[in-house]
Homo-oligomer: A and B are copies of this chain.
Amino acid sequence: MKISIQQLNPKALGFEKNKELILSKIKESNNDVLNVFPESAISGMPLMSAIEYEDTYINSALLCEEICQTNKDIILGTPIKIEDNRFNSIVFFSKGEVIGLSTKKNLGDFDIGFDSGSGIETIVYNGKSIGFGFEEDLEEFALLGNRVDILIICSNIVFELDYQQPLYSKLIPIVRKMDTTLIFVNRFGAEGGYLFAGESFVINKRGEICSMLPLFEDSSSQIETDNLKLQYQNPLPRMERLYMALVFALREYFSKNGIKKAVLGLSGGIDSALVVVIAASALGKENVVGVLMPSEFSSEHSIEDALCSAKNLGIEHHIVPIKNSFDVMSSELMTHLPSDFDLAEENLQSRLRCVTLMWFANKLCAALLNTTNKSEAAVGYGTLYGDTSGAISVLGDVYKTEVWELAKWINRNNELIPYNSIHKAPSAELRPGQKDSDSLPDYDILDSILLEHLENRKGLEEIILETGHPREIVEKVLRLIRINEWKRRQCPSAVKVTKYCFGLDRKYPIS
């Protein structure tokens, strides 16, 4: 049987765009091919509150009707309303008719608002028994002893740096036990902080991965189920996948939101030096504007390093010192509450930089890029309405130690990121001689604690046991994580690359 895996990138609620995409793919396909599209190909995902609106189902039904009328054989995902029930469904069209329907039974995180359906459906098609439906319902289907010749899963798997092994380890035994061929069709794309990998694949009866579509790419692949070829390649190195993910997410964010230009502050530090490289790669150097905003506490090397960053990439840049505005504002304010230079003045500098950057963003119809990393976000090392601002947080799910690793990987052939930005001690430079290490443990210690607590879900005692770090340091870090949740609640969405991304997956109670 000929199956065409249609790995595409639907936009959430972008019905018109999704229709064109799907119809153009179908047009290209031959009549004897079964076209398989991902979950929610029609509506995009996540739908969130739109799951509760009638319009979502009306638009989806109209589009399904048009697709059905192409008279081709098609399997695709769509929201569907049947009487008063709302389902996340997979529809099977053949020769202008609906010949099968699977509704998701075991609902996932994106399915809040849907009703639970009946799970994977089986159907006889072209003389073969076919099971089709959702990944979440697969385990139950296998447990019930079902047997089919071919299993087709339409999915929406969320990309994480290490998503593949757990997924394959779960699926391969099921495929072997069921003695079947698994066709797993994934969407690619980015939406609301989530990345979708693509990397659709086929697993043969022996449990071998024998076909894989590319990462983050629009791609179709036609297979013959009776003649599968081993085509699996080892995944790219971790840092390369991370770089691809961040570049792709940024490109998607700008194109889906119809924005061309990005603005960011260049401090000479490693975070902004890394983000500007990612931005130039994602958007083109002509669309990235760097702003240097030295204060009286900026060291000379900061300005040099930041300039070096901008010049390496050949981007437009401006030097806008904040001294004058800082002096005017702080002397005016001090007349109201006479006091010493303290945290309020440190924050004032950071906030004036945000005001400056947003002025550039507004003038250029650009979006501001946030450069906070996950370690800083975790412990609240940043100024709200200052350096925590931006339309999208590029590194918000990347730990500081990985920021360095990624920077070194990027520089492996040619020094895009200034050597100094990578190797000097991190500093916010908001008061004389300030270093991050004045208020935080060294980043290798900090990150090892964060990793245990955030990714491995360990508590105080376990972390002390696991890492061997002194109790007072672990206690301090956990406390900082807890008390800074309110700050994170107002930060931009990060590009999710780990299992537990702030804002999307990890939410802690705040009073």
Mark A residues whose CB is within 8 Å of B: 11-13, 44-50, 52-55, 58, 190-192, 252-253, 256-257, 318, 320, 324-325, 328-330, 332-333, 336-337, 339, 342-344, 347-348, 351-352, 354-356, 358-360, 362-364, 384-385, 389, 391, 457-460, 462, 486, 489-493, 500, 505-511
Contact of A333 among B348, B359, B511 (CB under 8 A): B359
Question: Nearest chain B CB to A346's CB is how many angstroms away?
Answer: 9
Question: Nearest chain B CB to A443's CB is how many angstroms away?
Answer: 23
A330 to B11, CA, bound (A): 39
Contact of A459 among B49, B54, B360 (CB under 8 A): B54
Contact of A324 among B320, B328, B348, B460 (CB under 8 A): B328
Is there an interface contact between A457 and B53, defined as CB atoms closer than 8 Å?
Answer: yes
Question: Nearest chain B CB to A306's CB is how many angstroms away?
Answer: 16
Is there an interface contact between B511 and A11, defined as CB atoms closer than 8 Å?
Answer: yes
Contact of A493 among B330, B363, B489 (CB under 8 A): B489
Is there an interface contact between B358 and A355, defined as CB atoms closer than 8 Å?
Answer: no
A355 to B355, CA, bound (A): 9
**Chain B hits for A253, CB < 8 A:** 511
Interface pairs (22), CB distance under 8 Å: A13-B509, A44-B509, A46-B509, A48-B509, A54-B459, A54-B462, A190-B511, A192-B511, A252-B511, A256-B511, A318-B336, A324-B332, A329-B355, A329-B359, A337-B363, A344-B362, A344-B363, A351-B358, A385-B389, A389-B490, A489-B492, A489-B493
A493 to B330, CA, bound (A): 29
Q: A348-B355, A490-B490 are in contact. List 6 more A-B contacts (CB 8 A).
A: A12-B511, A58-B459, A253-B511, A318-B336, A333-B359, A348-B359
A252 to B337, CA, bound (A): 28
**Chain B hits for A55, CB < 8 A:** 459-460
A354 to B181, CA, bound (A): 59
A491 to B506, CA, bound (A): 18
Closest 3 CB pairs of A and B: A256-B511, A344-B362, A12-B509
Is there an interface contact between A354 and B356, defined as CB atoms closer than 8 Å?
Answer: no
* Residue of A192, A457, A493 contacting most chain B CB atoms (<10 Å): A192
**Chain B hits for A45, CB < 8 A:** 509
Is there an interface contact between B320 and A337, defined as CB atoms closer than 8 Å?
Answer: no
**Chain B hits for A339, CB < 8 A:** 363
Q: A55-B460, A333-B356, A359-B347 are in contact. Are A192 and B385 (CB under 8 A)?
A: no
A453 nearest in chain B by CB position: B53
**Chain B hits for A505, CB < 8 A:** 49
A330 to B352, CA, bound (A): 12
Is there an interface contact between B511 and A457, defined as CB atoms closer than 8 Å?
Answer: no
**Chain B hits for A460, CB < 8 A:** 55
Question: Nearest chain B CB to A249's CB is how many angstroms away?
Answer: 11
A50 to B481, CA, bound (A): 13
A337 to B339, CA, bound (A): 36
Contact of A329 among B49, B192, B325, B362 (CB under 8 A): B325
Is there an interface contact between A332 and B337, defined as CB atoms closer than 8 Å?
Answer: no
Contact of A491 among B12, B324, B330, B490 (CB under 8 A): B490
Contact of A325 among B332, B507, B509 (CB under 8 A): B332
Contact of A48 among B328, B355, B486, B507 (CB under 8 A): B507
A509 to B49, CA, bound (A): 8
A110 to B373, CA, bound (A): 29
**Chain B hits for A351, CB < 8 A:** 354-355, 358
**Chain B hits for A191, CB < 8 A:** 509-511
* Residue of A50, A252, A344 contacting most chain B CB atoms (<10 Å): A344
**Chain B hits for A384, CB < 8 A:** 358, 389
Question: Nearest chain B CB to A362's CB is how many angstroms away?
Answer: 4
* Residue of A44, A359, A457 contacting most chain B CB atoms (<10 Å): A359
A213 to B336, CA, bound (A): 46
Q: A192-B510, A355-B329, A457-B53 are in contact. Are A362 and B337 (CB under 8 A)?
A: no
**Chain B hits for A509, CB < 8 A:** 12-13, 44-48, 50, 191-192
A363 to B338, CA, bound (A): 10
A500 nearest in chain B by CB position: B49
**Chain B hits for A362, CB < 8 A:** 342-344, 347
A54 nearest in chain B by CB position: B459
**Chain B hits for A44, CB < 8 A:** 509
**Chain B hits for A58, CB < 8 A:** 459
